[in-house]
Structure 1
């Protein structure tokens, strides 16, 4: 059970849910041509989850000192799992994930795509090792890596067929691209809030994050202003692209815009650790509801 907590099994389940919804709940449900068979899709999910799990382990290995201060009850290295064992877990998970990725690419004849798995694995290591300490850049990188769980499925499921099925697949391709972009945006906001939550430990170990530079109150207000920008972007997106899809528009208003509005209001007055934790949990909820909107979109298009 400790190992499952170390690899953030809840986050991994969210990755699985996202990819299953995109592949089965969107593309196949709409009878669109896809490149991956069920077995190859299983290989892609497995590779993605293993590499992501390895990323969580190496991140914890590099955050031992700050995690002891920020979240002593959730710090498993070295209190429960030794650093050596944790690093061995990282190696096994990472090598297995990249290896399965190589096997998948060889099965489907796309050997040039193997670099994607190596690149994601390398970026997770580089992020955990030093880029996360660079203001904004680390937040942007990890947010892009989170969005890659959608992007990599688009690459393997749609890209090989896009040239010969351009008329049929271009709109789904653009839709999933937009989902990946908004997932990146939401996760970027959550990374800022996480930095606020972790400011005490980061300051103690010399990490120069945004809350340490600007202060907690200013940073949480910046997060609120970013949330306002996101609301305007989402309203504009609904107005331009979703006017005729009433049910999806209503869902996005209820499950995205209203919670984001609540986030902005709460951020305006947040000044305690429990407030920051509430904001982080609210963003998790918004991200989950955003993923589930894929199912709503499919239902509105099909029926």
Structure 2
């Protein structure tokens, strides 16, 4: 169990669930050609979660001091797993992830696409060792990595199967996944700031340059309140312009995404304690989970229940 906690198995499950939902709940219902066979797509998922697992491990290795203050009961590296073993696991997961990425890049006849996996792994390492000291940048990097797990599907499933004969058919599918990746980025970016609010004391003691450390809890909470308008307005705009004819998808999105986000907005305005911010971080995690499921809801609604 300690090894599962080390690689954040819940987060890896979310990534795998999202990629499976995109395939079976959306892509398979669009009647379009796909570049990878099913078993190769499973390899893409494995590659993604291996690189992410490596990122979580190196992050824990570098965060031992801060974690001992922010979440002492959850510290793994240095307690239940030695630092040396953690480094070996980091290398193993990263090599497996990049290695599978190299194979898949050859499969789709785009060998230079392996650069995507290498850059992602390198970015995770640099983030853990250097970028945490840079204001905002660390939040952007972590938020992008969730969006990356959607974008990589476009790169390996849609783009290689697109040519001049099916471009009009493939473009809307490509665009939908881009839209989902943007929303995922915004939600995760906000959640990362909320987590910084939760970890304020430990980050401050370790000299981290986070928004709460620089501007304080109150100002950062108000900033998050303002930022939370962005996903709400974006989702409502998207529903109104593209999904309004999909009755079930619209009801689902309003109830399971917009509703919780409105609750989040109300609560973040007056949030002050570590417990408050942990609760709000969990709310955003649920919104991201429901957002993943919404991909399948939209796909099913498009195929079977168009108004």
TM-score range, shorter chain: over 0.9
Which position in structure 2 is the counterpart of 1:271? 272
Aligned residue in 2 for 1:281: 282
Aligned length: 303
Structure 1: how far apart are the matches of 2:236 and 2:16? 28
- TM-score, normalised by the number of residues in structure 1: 0.97
Are the aligned partners of 1:51 and 1:93 in contact in 2 as well (CA < 8 Å)?
A: yes
Counterpart of 1:263 in 2: which secondary structure?
helix
Q: Distance in 1 between matches of 2:53 and 2:178?
A: 24
Give the superposition deviation at 1:85: 1.0
Residue 293 (structure 1) aligns with: 294
Deviation at 1:132, TM superposition (A): 2.3
Cα deviation for residue 176 of structure 1 reads 0.6
For 1:162 and 1:269, the matched residues in 2 are separated by 49
Instruction: Name 1:94's counterpart in structure 2.
Output: 94
Q: Distance in 1 between matches of 2:279 and 2:161?
A: 43
| Aligned counterparts, 1:252-263, within 5 A | 252-263=253-264
Deviations 1:55-86 (A, max 9, x none): 00011111110000000111101011111111
| Residue of structure 1 in register with 2:20 after alignment | 20
Give the structure 2 partner of residue 73 of structure 1. 73
Q: Deviations over 1:266-299 (max 9, x none)?
A: 0011111111111000000000000000110011
Q: Is the 8 A contact 2:35 2:158 kept in 1?
A: yes
SS at structure 2 position matched to 1:158: helix
Give the structure 2 partner of residue 188 of structure 1: 189
Cα deviation for residue 251 of structure 1 reads 1.2
* 3-state SS in 2 of match to 1:101: helix
Q: Deviations over 1:162-201 (max 9, x none)?
A: 2242111111111110000000000000000011111111
CA positional deviation for 1:108: 3.2
The 5-angstrom pairing of residues 196-211 of structure 1 reads: 196-211=197-212
Contact 1:27 1:33 survives alignment (8 Å) = no
2:169 matched to which residue of 1? 168
Q: Which stretch of the first structure deviates more once superposed, 232-241 or 179-188?
A: 232-241
SS of aligned partner of 1:237: helix
8 Å CA contact 1:255–1:286 kept in 2: the answer is yes
Q: Distance between the aligned counterparts of 1:243 and 1:107, measured in 2?
A: 38
Aligned match of 1:110? 110
Unaligned regions of 5+ residues in structure 1, if any?
Answer: none
State the alpha-carbon separation in 2 of the partners of residues 50 and 102 from structure 1. Answer: 14
1:208 positional shift: 1.3
- In structure 2, the partner of 1:43 is 43
User: 2:10 matched to 1:10?
Assistant: yes
